[in-house]
């Protein structure tokens, strides 16, 4: 090969190599720019998606704190809950919230009634759902127990808690004159001695016999109350032949029994307390029972005060002689029997030990005052001394000197 040709080939080779180098450089630059552009796009998309999801999981309206009541039915799935919350305007993106809900563990979510607001974000909504809301009541067959010594108001609360019958519906029905008149026709002998309805706070107080009753789903207040009165009538029919043992009517027996029920616990004491009340009524001496005062006040509390015993009410047996217009609770058979068959004695006073509830009886005021001092006042003074650093005592709240016995075993008389 000629020398000139060889040089020409070398020059072309250098040119080609230079061209390839330039092409590789541009290719690398293009690839780098493409990769950078893709990275920017990916990062931008990720940031956008994150922002979108974050917004979707944030409050639907951060400025709106108004509460929205929502029901999450029993058996609801994450899909159901997401739909319910979205329909209520509490989440802006149903699908995103649904995926997030499943990811955060939807097995702990509880059915119930909830109070949410649009200012709550997804985490707050889920936290509330996991804690649980107001339980959903499912009407079902159950048993309702009327406890001895409870009032109609107490029974109404129990019925409200355990059945589909509301407290308001129960009280409205039990006090309905038309309903009571229908019961009087159904059980004429039971209600024969009942006075005019408008003289009593609750005419059927004392006529709902303490027992356990079957409640069936869908049962009405009328049906349930009728069953309770039916049981009271059955008790009366058992005792009707015993009524000649007393000069009181059966309505008065139920009234006296309702007081005895809350004043004495044992069968022996119920008979003796009944005898004390008969002795007092025989000489027109006020019965003076805390139970009647508390009924007049419509309260449950541990002690009665001087102000309490001055309450103006026909049920107040401190300011009125004889029995109140009607029962103050629903008494058990033992208390009713004690009212019919008192244990005759010479006592006019009794007081229950504030700690043991043991009842002490006396025939004279002097004996009674000594017993009150020993079993009530001394112990009450000790209690007040212990509470003094934390409680500001006032003259209006001073406990009655001769009272001071817990309501649950409130079994003593106050000397006048």
Sequential pLDDT tens for the chain (416 residues): 555 666 666 677 677 666 666 667 766 667 666 666 666 666 655 555 556 667 778 898 888 989 999 999 988 888 999 999 999 998 888 888 888 888 876 667 889 999 999 999 988 898 899 888 888 877 889 999 999 999 999 999 999 999 999 999 999 999 999 999 999 999 999 999 999 999 999 999 999 999 999 999 999 999 999 999 999 999 999 999 999 999 999 999 999 999 999 999 999 999 999 999 999 999 999 999 999 999 999 988 877 888 999 999 999 999 999 999 999 999 999 999 999 999 999 999 999 987 888 999 999 999 999 999 988 887 777 767 776 665 554 444 444 434 333 333 333 433 33
Which residue from 386, 369, 380 is spatially nearest to 406, judged by alpha carbons?
380
What is the Cα–Cα distance from 95 to 292, expressed in whole angstroms? 62
Q: Cα-flanking dihedrals φ and ψ of residue 289, to 5°?
A: -110, 130
pLDDT for 34 equals 66
Check: CB of residue 274 under 8 Å from CB of residue 339.
yes
Degrees to nearest 5, angle at CA 130 with 125 and 133: 80
What is the Cα–Cα distance from 140 to 135, expressed in whole angstroms? 15
Tokens in use for 374? 């020993």
Say how many Å lie between the first and final Cα of the chain, rounded.
149
Strand, helix or coil for residue 10: helix
pLDDT for 393 equals 47
Q: Cα-flanking dihedrals φ and ψ of residue 276, to 5°?
A: -60, -45
Hey, what CATH topology would domain 67-131 get?
Dna Ligase; domain 1 (3.30.1490)
Q: Cα-flanking dihedrals φ and ψ of residue 169, to 5°?
A: -65, -40
- Kindly provide the residue ranges of all beta strands, DSSP E only, lying in 60-103, ordered along the sequence: 67-72
Which residue from 279, 273, 272 is spatially nearest to 259, judged by alpha carbons?
273
Whole-prediction pTM: 0.70
Which residue from 229, 283, 238, 278 is spatially nearest to 256, judged by alpha carbons?
278
What is the Cα–Cα distance from 104 to 57, expressed in whole angstroms? 13
Query: Residue 274, Cβ neighbours under 10 Å: how many?
Result: 27
Which residue from 96, 91, 98 is spatially nearest to 121, judged by alpha carbons?
91
Q: CB within 8 A of 93, min separation 6: which ones?
A: 56, 57
Tokens in use for 133? 């809301």
3-state helix, strand, coil in the chain (%, to 5): 55, 5, 40
Tokens in use for 188? 């004429």
DSSP string, 26-58: HHHHHHHHHHHHHHHHHHHHHHHHHHHHHHHHS
Check: CB of residue 264 under 8 Å from CB of residue 273.
yes
Which residue from 215, 212, 205, 223 is spatially nearest to 162, judged by alpha carbons?
215
pLDDT for 401 equals 37
Specify which residues 144 forms β-bridges with.
213
Element (H, E) at 112: strand 112-117
pLDDT for 9 equals 65
What is the chain's length? 416
- CA distances in angstroms from 27 to 21, 31, 244, 355, listed in the order given: 10, 6, 121, 99
The domain ranges of the chain are 67-131, 139-245, 247-327+334-416
Check: CB of residue 368 under 8 Å from CB of residue 347.
no
């Amino acid at each position: 090969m000629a020398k000139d040709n060889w040089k020409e080939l070398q020059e072309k080779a250098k040119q080609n190599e230079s061209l390839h180098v330039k092409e590789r450089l541009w290719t690398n630059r293009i690839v780098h720019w493409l990769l950078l552009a893709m990275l920017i796009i990916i990062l931008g998309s990720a940031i956008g998606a994150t922002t979108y999801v974050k917004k979707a999981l944030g409050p639907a309206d951060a400025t709106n704190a108004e509460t929205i009541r929502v029901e999450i039915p029993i058996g609801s799935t994450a899909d159901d809950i997401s739909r319910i919350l979205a329909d209520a305007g509490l989440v802006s993106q149903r699908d995103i919230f649904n995926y997030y809900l499943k990811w955060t563990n939807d097995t702990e979510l509880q059915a119930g009634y909830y109070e949410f607001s649009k200012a709550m974000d997804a985490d707050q909504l889920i936290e509330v759902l996991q804690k649980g809301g107001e339980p959903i009541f499912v009407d079902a067959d159950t048993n309702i127990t009327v406890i001895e010594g409870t009032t109609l108001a107490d029974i109404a609360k129990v019925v409200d808690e355990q059945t589909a019958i509301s407290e308001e519906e129960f009280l409205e029905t039990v006090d309905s004159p038309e309903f009571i008149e229908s019961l009087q026709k159904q059980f004429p002998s039971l209600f024969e001695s009942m006075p005019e309805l408008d003289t009593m706070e609750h005419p059927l107080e004392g006529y709902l016999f303490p027992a356990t009753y079957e409640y069936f789903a869908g049962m009405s207040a009328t049906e349930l109350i009728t069953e309770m009165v039916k049981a009271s009538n059955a008790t009366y029919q058992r005792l009707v032949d015993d009524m000649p043992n007393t000069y009181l009517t059966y309505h008065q027996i139920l009234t006296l029994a309702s007081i005895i029920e809350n004043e004495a616990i044992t069968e022996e004491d119920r008979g003796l307390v009944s005898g004390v009340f008969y002795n007092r009524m025989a000489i027109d001496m006020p019965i003076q029972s805390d139970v009647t005062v508390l009924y007049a006040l419509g309260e449950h509390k541990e002690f009665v005060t001087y102000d309490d015993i001055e309450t103006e009410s026909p049920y107040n047996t401190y300011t009125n002689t004889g029995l109140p217009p009607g029962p103050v609770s629903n008494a058990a058979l033992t208390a009713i029997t004690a009212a019919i068959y008192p244990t005759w004695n010479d006592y006019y006073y009794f007081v229950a030990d504030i700690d043991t509830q043991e009842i002490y009886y006396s025939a004279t005021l002097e004996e009674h005052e000594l017993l009150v001092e020993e079993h009530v006042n001394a112990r009450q003074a000790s209690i007040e001394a212990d509470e003094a650093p934390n409680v500001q005592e006032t003259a209006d709240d001073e406990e009655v000197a001769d009272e001071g016995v817990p309501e649950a075993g409130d079994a003593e008389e106050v000397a006048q």
